[in-house]
Amino acid sequence: MLDRLPFLIGLRYVRAKRRNHFISFISLTSMLGLMLGVAVLILVLSVMNGFDHELRTRVLGMVPHAKIEARGGLTDWQSLAERLLQRERVIGAAPYVEQQGMFSIGGNNKGAMVTGIDPEYEDQVSIIGEHMQQGSLDDLVPGEWNVVLGSLLARQLGVGVGDRVTLLVPEASITPAGVFPRLKRFTVSGIFSVGADLDANLAYANIEDMQTLARMGDAVGGLRLELDDLFAASAETRAIINELGSGYRGLDWTYSHGNLFQAIQMEKRMIALLLTVIIAVAAFNIVSTLVMVVTDKHADIAILRTIGATPRSIMGIFVVQGLAIGIIGILIGVAAGIGLALTISELISGIESLFDIQFLDANVYFISYLPSQLEWSDVRNIVAAALGLTFLSTLYPAWRAARIQPAEVLRYE
């Protein structure tokens, strides 16, 4: 019977109505604090996981893991691609020609990076083919001067499929009439959308058309590579350049988007740390609750000691009571956090539609919606941390209760 004593009395103290309502209020506050801390931490980490996932799948799905370039361009890119594809980590290679320029139509001007691609190879290194809203990459036929625009870029220019736009490139053409910027008329043959900032500043054309525009002849700007592990891009790029020797240079995705990825990882760690402090504050509120309960239950503790309860059993009573308060708050918080993490994207989208506002502008942020990805490992770690902090907060009050001397208490009863 005495072995079950801490568990039975501890749970009874949790359910019992208290003469001191302030103790009940502090207990409820501790429970609510744990609930809110756990729920918010699960939600925030899920959103950070969502941003991390979207960066990897969408933005880095459009951005090459690595690029290999040569001085003056690559003339025999097919043989180099075959050579690189024999490497263990390289799973795709495609030629490209990049040209920074400005699209213009009816007084609307917008800068963009125009990438000349070969539709036959592009699906090896990019997910653009999976995100075409209108048209197809197969419409980028050599000599027809077609272009595929990002959805935001097309919206800003006010154009759709079939419209003609003028591309101005930052190179001058010298004619008998003077020096004029080089420009070319393109027909919009497709529109893509990946829900990222790339929709506002990226366009695709046929690689042969871009070779003609850039006056590169048969050479291409370089090769875009897809690797089996994007985090091995830096090391693999260095290894490739060391193998190819001088005259080549390599760039990987960390040059263009590495800082963004590192920022997300750092923010995730810092936010987790700060919100864990909130959970710690709520957990240590249990100290106040239990200290007041111990003071209120001096007589009960003394009677239990006189009938044979050991100091360890007395400690167990208050440890059980504190853990019961914490577990209730944690379980409610976990349920609320999981529910919010699974529905936050739809909730934010509904709010945006209802009030005609946009929380994430793709011109500012790299995606235009709030992503969320629940990781059960995060939930497990959060619950473990909250339970650990709750247990630690019960030790001091329980130790004080175990030190109460029955004779001293009962003398005045």
Judgement on whether residues 189 and 303 belong to the same structural domain of the protein: no
What is the per-residue pLDDT across 262-297, written as a single tens digit (0 to 9) for each?
A: 776 777 788 778 777 877 877 777 887 788 777 777
Judgement on whether residues 54 and 112 belong to the same structural domain of the protein: no
Whole-number average pLDDT of the chain: 82
Judgement on whether residues 112 and 166 belong to the same structural domain of the protein: yes
Structural domain contains residue 237: no
Q: Is the pLDDT of residue 177 over 50?
A: no
Q: Is the pLDDT of residue 252 over 60?
A: yes
Q: What is the Rg, in whole angstroms, of the alpha carbon atoms belonging to the chain?
A: 32
Question: HSE (CB half, 13 Å, CA atoms) of 215?
Answer: 7
First CA to last CA distance, the chain = 27
Q: Is the pLDDT of residue 117 over 80?
A: yes
Judgement on whether residues 313 and 373 belong to the same structural domain of the protein: yes
Judgement on whether residues 205 and 309 belong to the same structural domain of the protein: no
Q: What pLDDT was estimated at residue 367?
A: 65
Structural domain contains residue 84: no
* Tokens representing residue 208 in the block: 């042969």
Judgement on whether residues 132 and 33 belong to the same structural domain of the protein: no
Q: Are 227 and 393 in contact (CB under 8 A)?
A: no
Judgement on whether residues 50 and 144 belong to the same structural domain of the protein: no
b vs e for 203-214, b when ≥16 Cβ sit within 10 Å of the residue's Cβ?
Answer: bbbbbbbbbbbb
| Domain coverage including residue 275 | 4-58+262-410
Q: What pLDDT was estimated at residue 314?
A: 80
Q: Which amino acid makes up residue 68?
A: I
Judgement on whether residues 97 and 222 belong to the same structural domain of the protein: yes
162 vs 245, more confident:
162
* Tokens representing residue 170 in the block: 């930052």
Q: Decide: helix, strand or coil at residue 358.
A: coil
Total tally of structural domains belonging to the chain: 2
- Average pLDDT in the 340-348 region? 87
Instruction: Report residue 145's pLDDT band, with 50, 70 and 90 as the boundaries.
Output: very high
Judgement on whether residues 216 and 335 belong to the same structural domain of the protein: no
